[in-house]
Structure 1
Amino acid sequence: MTNAVYTMTVRALSGVVSERAAETMLRAVLREQNLVAETVTAQEMQQVISGPLLSRLETVMPATRARKELLSLAGQLEAKYPKAPTLFTAHVPHASWDEAGGTTIWNDLLLSADDFEFEDPEYGGSLEGRSYDLSTALDQDALIQLLGRLSGVQGVMVCRASGEVLRSRSVKDPAGLGSVVAASAMLFQRRSLRLLSADLGGQTVCMCPLGGYCVAVVANSQANVGRLLVELQQLRVAA
């Protein structure tokens, strides 16, 4: 039998999509997170709502509306379970470019495999992905805008695996960060990785290889890095 947290969530979600779709969608994302409807806690559900459920809902409606609907749902859950606060931030900018602080000197970074947190390449493989043709400026810009809407993101860069910068937004030193991407290419190949992230103190840089390209995202300390990694994990190269 499903518990009260699950029942409350699926009922609220039924006001956004059909009851059947709500049930199917919620059970799917719980399964992806190794959770079940009978035992999921309010804290776990808040993580699901702000991460994989948001990503799934954005595939069937505009991202702005999806976020608004789930922000309301997370607030209802928080009201009933105060010890499980929403993981959405109170202020959600359209893009966070203006939040960028000081300049990071990427060329001075001496990164090795020990500096990174590696994501399991098999994790989340069932998530429905977005496809981009990164050989075109149009899709490069579309991807940058998508990632730029995430709270805490300070910069996004699209480059070739060689480190050649193709497009960037509010990355203070794109050439320097490109060299970090190039140096990391061997790590991706050697360990068959799909994602990696490095904590640089006040900032986190996340990288995702996409065929012959790579996307790098710079986020501040307030960013939900888990949410960001979920978003990156869904990206695919258009055939």
Structure 2
Amino acid sequence: MVIPVIKQLASRDQWMDFCRRETAYCFVEQPQVLVDLQSTFLKITLLPDHQQLQDAVKYSLGSRTSIEPVWQLIKGCHWDLSALIRGLQELDFSSNVRDNSLLKAHTDLSVRKYFSRERCLVAPESLGLLEPLMAAPDVWSSFQLNRLINNGQFRDLRSEQKLLSDGRSYGGVDAPEMEQIRMLLLNPQEQLIGQQIDTRLHVYRNQQPFISLIPEFRWPQPRLKKKPA
């Protein structure tokens, strides 16, 4: 499923445009969330950060009988999705959430917080153009690995996997195709993370050796060459 991406939801007109879509279900760039308003419930999924290792937090708020309580809450937050999310994050879900000032005026509104089962959701920022790395990051997360690999800032790619048969180890297998590596980096369940040892960067997949390479922190060459005049 291709999920549309919109810039933000920070005004009444933007919310109206969102609801006029064929399906009111979109990624939002700022803040990085997934918004679903296909029923009388507004569902907001906070997308994982660049580490991509944690489950996404999801809020569901609305009424079984009418969409009006949701609209009144959005209006009360001055049509600003960021303000609404800040209010939700301040709620104490260990007690009666109706006691919070965000919801006191909305007696017909129910609010739930839970962890999304959609664990492979990736923020739009991770799918767009990735800036090259000019220095080693503090943590080699999958996002930082993606920046390095997608910009071709490496050499001497090797596989660190071993073929096992009858309990015996064989020689190293061929390095995986670049397209496979890119797809794995976008899947949070693969838990790709890097560790630099001397000059080589070792990449682990689900805590198992996967590949290694030598980073090169320099601006990549243009992929499209100018045609001669």
Asked if these proteins are the same fold (TM beyond 0.5), I'd say: no
Q: Which has the higher strand share?
A: 2
TM-score by length of 1: 0.28
Which is higher, the Rg of structure 1 or of structure 2?
2
Greater share of helix: 1
Larger RCO: 1 or 2 (CA < 8 Å, sep 6+) = 1
TM-score (norm 2): 0.29
